[in-house]
Amino acid sequence: MSEFDASVSAGEIFEQQQERLNLRWVAGAQGAGRRIESSHSKSRRPSLAGYLNIIYPNKVQILGSEELQWLDALDSRQRWETIQKIFQFEPAAIIVSKNQSVPEDLIEVAEETQTALWVSPQRGHEILNQLQYRLARALAPRISLHGVFMEIHSIGVLITGESGSGKSELALELISRGHRLVADDMPEFTQIAPDVLDGTCPEMLQDLIEVRGLGIMNIRQMFGDTSVKKNKYLRLIVHLTKPTTEVPIAGIERLIGDNATRRILELDVPMITLPVMPGRNLAVLTESAARLHALRMKGINPAIAFVARHTQLLQSGDQ
């Protein structure tokens, strides 16, 4: 398991949003490497992108009609001091909306400070909405986990376990039964919302799975496009264990199963542990675990219903 901080450079933002926002680079080309670190989103009060803010400067400053008019209303000394203050905080980029004419003093200071200065025909709120969504996703907390991430009955399921426990073999059988692979070995999870972990596959491992004895296989080529999925929200962990000795199962655990949670980033994810033993059909058990989780999410718990039924039967017998 490895957790890492994400970052994005001004050049990467431009490449990703150039077509969507019709961006045009006006000045500060040397600032393409200036980066926004994910730590900014944790420690700084303002948003990552927003309209011109002198008190709490955003990392991407948007200049609309009102902001440029406000600058034009300042006297020459105040205007120069304000522009200097804008660039003093080292924004990753400054965007002028609606294809407005960019003032020469802005271009001059952008070149001097090597700050990216872009122009877009889009309205300010359109630029803001797009950048806030993309930057928040790009800089969200992210972690890599060891396991196989799959979509089973429309539920994102991460299969974990020790090396040699049969994770990839189980995944291969599930794929042959019509379920879909997201990532093998090291899926990446991004916390895009307080209760949502979005799982994806590193580009290097896209569509691939490694099974001992068979080597690396391309699942898309073998089973078709419908056998793989680009991303999925993580909702359940199925952990495979190889018991060393036969341990008797306690009564309550036999009723409710081996259920727990695993902390991933800032979210507790439900986890079901399945012992790997000869004669057990792990594919059927994993499918059933996904179906059972779906029922529990709807408020249906067969174990609790059974206990209530049993209690009612005992009470009726006492009467």
Please report where in the chains the tokens 């890599």 appear, as a residue: 144
The DSSP secondary structure of 85-117, one letter per residue, reads HHHHT--SEEEE-TTPPPPHHHHHHHHHHT-EE
Position 308 scores a pLDDT of 76
Q: Whole-prediction pTM value?
A: 0.76
Between 312 and 178, name the one with better pLDDT. 178
Catalytic site positions: 146, 167, 185, 254
Amino acid, single-letter form, for residue 136: A
> Which sign does the torsion angle of CA 93, 99, 100, 103 carry?
positive
Q: Which fold has domain 142-310?
A: Rossmann fold (3.40.50)
Q: How far apart are CA 273 and CA 249, in angstroms?
A: 13
The pairing of strands 142-144 and 188-193 is: antiparallel
Q: Report the top-level CATH class of 7-138.
A: alpha beta
Angle in degrees, CA 163, 169, 172, rounded to 5? 140
Domain ranges of the chain: 7-138, 142-310
The better pLDDT of the pair 303, 200 is held by 200
Half-sphere exposure of 143 (CA within 13 A, CB side): 16
Percentage of the chain beyond pLDDT 90 is 63
CA distance 36 to 48: 9
- Alpha carbon separation from 205 to 18, 68, 209 (Å, rounded): 28, 47, 8
Sorting pLDDT into bands at 50, 70 and 90, what band is 313? confident
Does the pLDDT value for residue 245 go beyond 70?
no
